[in-house]
Amino acid sequence: MKSVTAAEQLTIFSRYLGQQVVIRSLLNNEESIGTIQGIRQGAILITSDDVHRWIPLTDRFRVCEIKLLLKPLRKLTATIIETANSLPVQAFITPYYQQLGFDMPVFVAPGHPCNCKYLHEIGLADYRNADEILGSGQLSLASVSN
């Protein structure tokens, strides 16, 4: 699996503000679902169970694994594609798909090995939805731990 640095992850996550994520604590292995609310240098703001938490994201020490809950592009419908193609500028199509929660190929930096890879391929996305995670019994209903 190709990897991205914490700073690169924060840049990628900033494109998905408002999207749901699954957070797995590396300290106690509990999982929770939250929503990305903001990004700052070295941390991501997640809201889970009406609690806002800044989760540090550094290369040296990880307290959580964070994955976006996204849909694969194969789930695009004809209506969504038609709407995207009718946008006034072609460059708006990718942000439109991202806003709808679809996994899009990323551009990290010139020459980066993860360029043109989907987030699922680089370990930053999960194609399950919140109901599937809750139904699987794998999710702890505890708030985000850090």
Query: For residue 134, what pLDDT is reported?
Result: 73
Nearest C-alpha neighbor of 67 from the set 119, 5, 14, 136: 119
Supply the mean pLDDT for the chain. Answer: 88
In the block, residue with structure tokens 């594609």: 81
Reported pTM: 0.84
Would you list the domain boundaries of the chain? Answer: 6-72+103-135
Give the model confidence (pLDDT) of 121-144 as tens digits.
999 999 998 888 777 655 444 433
Give the model confidence (pLDDT) of 28-66 as tens digits.
888 889 999 999 999 999 998 899 999 999 999 888 999
Share of the chain above pLDDT 70, in %: 91
Q: Is the pLDDT of residue 1 over 50?
A: no
Do 142 and 32 contact (CB within 8 A), yes or no? yes
Q: Is the pLDDT of residue 145 over 70?
A: no
Do 76 and 102 contact (CB within 8 A), yes or no? yes
Query: For residue 130, what pLDDT is reported?
Result: 84
- State which amino acid sits at residue 135: G
Query: For residue 137, what pLDDT is reported?
Result: 54
- CB atoms < 10 A from the CB of 131, how many? 8
Per-residue confidence band for 2, with pLDDT thresholds at 50, 70 and 90: low
Distance (Å, whole) CA 31 – CA 60:
22
Share of the chain above pLDDT 90, in %: 74
**Under DSSP, is residue 67 helix (H, G, I), strand (E, B) or coil?**
strand
Distance (Å, whole) CA 126 – CA 133:
10
